[in-house]
Amino acid sequence: MLFELWEFENGHSFFVRAPGEEGYRAQLRQLGLDEGNARLVWTVEAESYNEAMQALYDRKGWGPYRTIEEELGESSGDPT
C-alpha cells in the first residue's frame, strides 16, 4: 500500500493513497477545502498502517510508533 504525507501551514495529514477510490478523492477534496495550501511532500510504501506510521515517525524523528492499544495498555489480541 502507498501512503501520502500532505503538509500545510498548521500541520499535516497522512493517509493511504488509493486514487481510484472515492474515499481517497473525498479526503483530497476535504483537505483542499480545509487547507488550501496543502502539498504532497512524501509517499511511502508499507505493508500495513502500523508499518506506515512507524515510517512517518522515523521521518519526523518521533521515536517508536505505539498503537492506540499500546498507549492504553491494552492487548491487541495478538500473542506475538
In a domain, 78, yes or no: no
Half-sphere exposure of 16 (CA within 13 A, CB side): 12
pLDDT level of residue 36 (50, 70, 90 thresholds): confident
Total tally of structural domains belonging to the chain = 1
**What is the per-residue pLDDT for 76?**
61
> What is the model's pTM?
0.78
Residue 30 pLDDT more than 60?
yes
Query: Among residues of the chain, what percentage have pLDDT more than 90?
Result: 64
In a domain, 20, yes or no: yes
Q: Is the separation of the CB atoms in 54 and 65 below 8 Å? A: yes
In a domain, 77, yes or no: no
The domain in which residue 7 lies consists of 2-72
pLDDT tens by residue, 42-67:
999 999 999 999 999 999 999 999 99
In a domain, 79, yes or no: no
In a domain, 80, yes or no: no
